[in-house]
A and B are shown apart, each in its own frame.
Chain A
Amino acid sequence: MSNESNMRRVTAIRNGTVIDHIPAGSALRVLELLNIGQGTSVPVSLVMNVPSKKKGAKDIVKVEDRELTQAELDRLALVAEGASVAIIRAYTVAEKLEINLGDEITDVVRCTFSNCITQNSREPLPHRLRVLSKDPLQIRCHYCGRPQDLDELVQNVI
């Protein structure tokens, strides 16, 4: 299926953010990480498992009337590394951004280990996770050193 027909599945947006090339099946996690859910008033379109030349299959998320910041996009690196982001203004791409997983994820998610020092929510230092490997994804807490399970981790969004 062509790229054009993928895009036709949802209408073009006038203003907002398009996140394309999300790994297939990860779009719901993207919404979780962006805290988009009940109570969100802006229109959100979501396409899952559509053909992709680059990846075989991919997901797409479009958020209307909201320009996501780089800080917000960095939160997505856990589940959507390599996704491409376009800020849309008046139906045209005004800015292109990238999501890249750095060596450290700071203040995005909380360590999942129940006896980690960071479990005390009053402790003020940032939540820091170290990325040991990107493929396969291996993440450990900077403080307690425990390996993090991705499924559990995305439940711990700050």
Chain B
Amino acid sequence: MTGLITMADLTNEDIVEVLDAAERLLPVARGDAQMPLLSGRILGNLFFEPSTRTRMSFETAMKRLGGDVVNLGDVSTSSVVKGETLFDTIQMVDGYTDIIAMRHPRQGAARYAQDAARVPILNGGDGAGHHPTQTMLDLFTIRQAHGRLDGLDVVLAGDLRYGRTVHSLSHALARFDCRLVLASPELLRMPPEIVEDLRASGASVVETTDLYGSLDGADVVYMTRIQKERFADEDEYVKVAGAYKLHAKHLGEVRQDMIVMHPLPRVDEIHPSVDETRHARYFEQAFNGVVTRMALLCRLLGVDVPGGEA
């Protein structure tokens, strides 16, 4: 069975179906209704890299649907530290579980794991590669705010070079004919092959270093953290740290329904003054991680979410 490794694994129709199923699961995600659709199923959580939101939301999603979760636990005490290959780890967990959610510091690890596994793999981030489940919750949040995904003006800002969330999200938005503004310091521009792919798919893409000048007319501003841990050289990090600091004072002229998103955790790229504005959407976005992952777990395990069209 195939999992979700990159957004290319889902068609636009698939995306809309998953988001619709997620809508129907909202009361379950909030704890207001019970729907043990995944009773008896086990999710293997394999996080080879630190994660708070992604790991916890997968776990919550599985448990809200009546399923169970086994965790790899701390990498420093597991067999990985003894030199076990990813292939061997996957062989073992594949036998224990019905589906695997994984995050790994190396790029391509999720595709590799899918090639090695019989159960579906949900890519929860592979190095600076992809993070499609984050993209699904981002799309859910955008659709919640704007009622649609098509033809929006979206600014992606911050660390576009190493930020895997924006790599996956930009691909998806381009497929829905959104116009993209990529705002980043020179050093952290979107990888050229991704920009090439976006343009080849017919997307309108503008690259700029000017975030604040790009806010006017945007439907969505998606901020990202400059990830210290991805820099080999700390001097390089210092050059770009704090490049963008979005403050409520920057939002005076923006569209009323513009939303500010962030995959979290944030450092200083969104000032707390933004939290109080009508534009802030990042905490709802984090909650939406549970409901979209519930919908994805159901889909990949072949379980229909009741309430959809027959």
Contact = CB atoms under 8 A, between A and B. Distances in A.
Contact of A116 (B87, B106, B115, B130): B106
Interface stretch (A59-67, A140-148, A150-158): A140-148
Given A125-B115, A144-B129, A145-B6, A118 B108 contact: yes
Contacts of A119: 106
A12 to B, nearest CB: 47
Nearest to A140: B193
Contact of B111 (A115, A120, A142): A142
Interface of A, secondary structure class, is loop
B254 to A, nearest CB: 34
A124 B128 CA distance: 23
B82 to A, nearest CB: 12
Nearest to B107: A144
A117 B112 contact: yes
B6 A123 contact: no
B233 to A, nearest CB: 14
A104 to B, nearest CB: 13
A55 interface: no
**Interface magnitude class on chain A:** 20 to 34
Given A115-B128, A144-B129, A147-B193, A123 B86 contact: yes
A83 B105 CA distance: 41
Contacts of B116: 125
A122 interface: yes
A141 B104 CA distance: 17
B109 to A, nearest CB: 4
Contacts of B129: 144-145
Contact of B87 (A113, A115, A125, A140): A125
B78 interface: no
A117 B86 contact: yes
B127 interface: yes
Nearest to A118: B108
Contacts of A122: 83, 85
13 contacts: A115-B107, A117-B108, A122-B83, A125-B87, A125-B112, A141-B108, A143-B112, A144-B111, A144-B127, A144-B129, A145-B6, A146-B107, A146-B193
Closest 6 CB pairs of A and B: A143-B108, A144-B108, A144-B107, A117-B106, A117-B108, A117-B109
Interface of A: 111, 113, 115-120, 122-125, 140-147
